[in-house]
Structures are given as C-alpha cells and as structure tokens.
Amino acid sequence: MSAQAHKMIVLTGASGGIGVELARQYARPGRRLALIARDRVKLEALATSLKDTGCDLETAALDVRDRDVLHDYLVKLDARHPVDLVIANAGVTAGLGPDRSREADEDADRQLDINYRGAVNTVTGVVEAMRLRGRGQIVLVASLAGMKALPDMPSYSASKAALIAYGHALRGWLNPFGVDVTIICPGFVTSPMSARHKGAKPFEMSAEKAARMMLRAIEKRRAFYAFPFLLATGIRLQNLLPARISDWFMGGFKAEIEEDPRFKK
C-alpha cells in the first residue's frame, strides 16, 4: 500500500509537541484523522486550527492507560473507517528525586503505564483488524533513550527500550500478513516536555522539523528510524564500548527533570 493510501489515521498524544505537528502534517484533503489525548481543551483547539485543511477530523479525550475505553473507541472507529495508520505517540517523562535520590514510585509507574502499556493498548485496539485485512501500518514513537539509557531517567529509558523491543516483535509477527511496523527514536525535540529537561540537549530541533522527518520515515515504511543522525550514530557506537567507558561518556548527559505540572502531587 502506498503512502497516499493512508486515509484513516489514528494519532495518540495529539495535544502537544510532536503530536500537534504530526497532526498538522497529516491534515490534508481526502484524509480522516482521529486525534487522541487526555486534554479535551487542547484537542478542540487543535481541531479548530485544522478545520480549513480539508481533512475530516474527530477528537477523543481518552487516557491510553484505560484499555477498555480505548479499545471500545478504536474498534468502533475501525468499523466506521478502517484504520490505515496508527501512530502511538503518547508519552511522559520524569527523573530522579531530590538530590539524585530514587525515582518516586508513582513517577515510575506512570511512565511505564503511558509510554509502554499505553502504546500496547493503542496497538491492540486495531492490530487484529489490520491483520485480517492484510494491510496497515503501526508506528511506535520511542526515543534515543531507549537505545542508550539516560542515568537520570531510568524508568523513562526502560519504557522506551521496552517499546523498541515490542516493535521489533510486532514487525516479525505482522510482516507476513502485510502490516508494516515502524519504530521511531527521536532525540531532543523542543516542547513543554523538553523544557522540563534541565541539562544538555545536543542537536535539539523544533517539533515541526522532527515531525517532517518522522513523516518521511513513515511514508517510506522504514522499520527503524533514529534521529538526529549524528547523535543516533554516536549512541550506536557507544553501545559497542565496554560498559565502564560508555558509562563515563553518559556523564555528560546529567540532567534534572522538573516535575510535570499535569501530575503534581
């Protein structure tokens, strides 16, 4: 199936950062977008900003952690408009506690629940219909931190590493059925999430540029795409080094992650 055949697109995490820019990139005549996020106000504002694009839009204020509700929506959506492309983009970050103490339990749970389980919930809501149709594409938005763990973000890194492994397994399972799987690992992207990251952010780029690069990788149906190139290449090379040397290099990425105001205790 060609990229132009992507007519029904589901996007989670649509209310901020990369999600907003992906929605803008995909909003074209002849397409239908289902934009999913928890923040109803932001979703409605985004939909309003896209109303003149000629794209059919619908929004769903859902939490990807609520599997039953999410599945119910996705199954009914697919019955109305068979899903061609699903982009599991919802994600959150957190870091260590004060004075580099351990992560708060609720922060660790939330990252695993949204970044990994939320993506799995999204995929499992549509994958069987895609498999039976023999077409479709699943995109998992992971992170370079899933390729090389950040010492100050253990659960975030673990959640993204799990998502990468899940994507590789999905691809092996679904390839014979004609369903493509694309794993995308962005680096630092300017967004409210990135603004809370107080530390080095090499090669940081705008959300608009990141979305354009991601869209090209999706259209080419790449199996795995990590960017920016220099940083991704450096990570791949680092992973070949002995652990102690690699750990020393990672000291340059020391960071403090400010509390996410959406989940203040």
- CATH code for the domain of 207: 3.40.50.720
Residue 68 predicted with pLDDT over 80: yes
Q: Is pLDDT of 1 > 70?
A: no
pLDDT band at 115 (very low <50, low <70, confident <90, very high): very high
Count CA atoms within 13 Å of residue 31 on its CB side: 24
Give the mean pLDDT of 245-262: 88
The answer, yes or no, to whether residue 156 has pLDDT greater than 70, is yes
- Which residues, listed in sequence order, are joined to residue 180 by a DSSP beta bridge? 137
The pLDDT, as a whole number, for residue 252 is 83
Burial environment of residue 68 by CB neighbours within 10 A (0 to 12, 13 to 18, 19 or more): exposed
- What does the pLDDT read at residue 16? 84
Return all residues near 182 (Cβ < 8 A) that are at least 6 apart: 137, 138, 139, 140, 167, 217, 218, 221, 222, 223, 224, 225
pLDDT of 3 above 80: no
**pTM given for the model:** 0.95
First to last CA, the chain: 47
pLDDT at 58: 97
What pLDDT does residue 245 have?
92
When pLDDT is averaged across residues 132-152 and rounded to a whole number, the result is 97
When pLDDT is cut at 50, 70 and 90, the band that residue 93 belongs to is very high
Please report which confidence band the pLDDT of residue 265 belongs to, taking 50, 70 and 90 as the band edges.
low
- Residues 182-192 have pLDDT tens digits of 999 999 999 99
218-246 mean pLDDT: 95
The answer, yes or no, to whether residue 4 has pLDDT greater than 60, is no
Domain of 172 in residue numbering reads as: 3-263
Greater pLDDT, 252 or 61: 61
CA distance 145 to 185: 8
pLDDT, residue 160, reads 98
Give the range among 43-47, 203-207, 248-252 with minimum mean pLDDT. Answer: 248-252
Using a 10 angstrom Cβ sphere, with 0-12 exposed, 13-18 middle and 19 or more buried, the burial of residue 129 is: middle
> 202 and 231 in contact (C-beta within 8 Å)?
yes
Number of domains in the chain: 1
Read off the pLDDT of each residue in 203-215 and give the average, rounded to a whole number. 97
